[in-house]
Amino acid sequence: MARNRIIYASQSVWVNGEVLYRVQSLGSTTTFTSEDIFELGHLDIVDIVDDVPAVAVTLNTNDFGDVRTLATLAQLAPAKIVMEATATNSNANLAVVSGTALTETGTYLHGVALADFAITCGALPGVTLWAPVQDECALGTLDNLIDQALFLDEVFVNSLEFGYTTGANATENYGAETDNKMWLLNDGKFVNWEAWTANSTQGVLDGTDISNGYVDLTLASGTTIAALSTNSATQRGFLRKDDNGAPAITWYDASENEVMNVEIMLGALADVGQAGFVGKYIYELPATTGGVHRIHFPDATYIPVATDGLEILFAADA
């Protein structure tokens, strides 16, 4: 019997920079739809209109005693995803046990934050999910060679199923949908995530970042952010998109508790504030920055301040 599906050996599954644990399978099925156009008086088809492809996503995991996968997919605040025994003001959800007011120092207990997959304040619509696929010759070995990467953006969870039994592993399975699916190959097969947010490696933006007017990526100077379109003179492979479909990075405005994707263009420090670059972030190549991949802030709208957040997702050759 003919097979109607393709199976890839993925090394891991990532959502918004968080690796998911105990994943059993990740599936994505693309449906292409079209509509036939007729005219009165004509028997034949006049035209065929292609609709936006729909991608159904399934994520099957084994539960392992905490809610990290659920919290990640629901885009809970990063502080609340921290699974540790010591509760603090930032990751506890219940009131003070000792003391007479919430402002007093006391002992906090971990509480519960309900998952809201339709959250809009402080989060993007849908999550970003990607999975690197192992090279065929590396299957069954300890090599971490990557052949390609599956990339899905604006993935909306539309169903979840939990199963608990005394005779087998507990499971938590998710269904989702998107219309944004890409296979990243060759010089763009490595998906990189860098973030200046709570609990990230870089931490939140600080006074030094703001006074400098830029942040530097940790990507090595000898590597390249891929050009994924014919507009390579102005764009690079930043994977999130603004409302117009242009490459973008994600800015979290802490004062408004709002997240938005802001366009990023290829340029230099001298382009900040110039015609065509107003209100846009600028990516400067290592050749003119002393060997670092630099992201300059805008000088008009969308200017970050200390304690704001930046999420930068891009395809590169390493």
Domain architecture of the chain: domains with CATH: 14-76+115-183 (2.30.110), 187-316 (no CATH)
pTM over 0.85: no
Distances from the Cα of 78 to the Cα of 36, 75, 122, angstroms: 47, 8, 11
CB 78 within 8 A of CB 202: no
pLDDT of residue 310: 95
Cβ–Cβ < 8 Å for 248, 201: no
pLDDT the model gives residue 4: 66
Could you tell me how far CA 97 lies from the centroid of its own chain?
Answer: 37
Which residues, listed in sequence order, are joined to residue 47 by a DSSP beta bridge? 37
Q: What is the pLDDT of residue 142?
A: 67
Token output for 79 = 């502080």
Please give the DSSP secondary-structure letter assigned to residue 238: B
Q: Which residues of the chain have pLDDT under 50?
A: 1, 93-102, 104-105, 107-110
Q: CB of 10 within 8 A of CB of 150?
A: yes
Task: Give the model's pLDDT for residue 108.
Answer: 47
If 0-12 CB within 10 Å is exposed, 13-18 middle and 19+ buried, where does residue 4 land? exposed
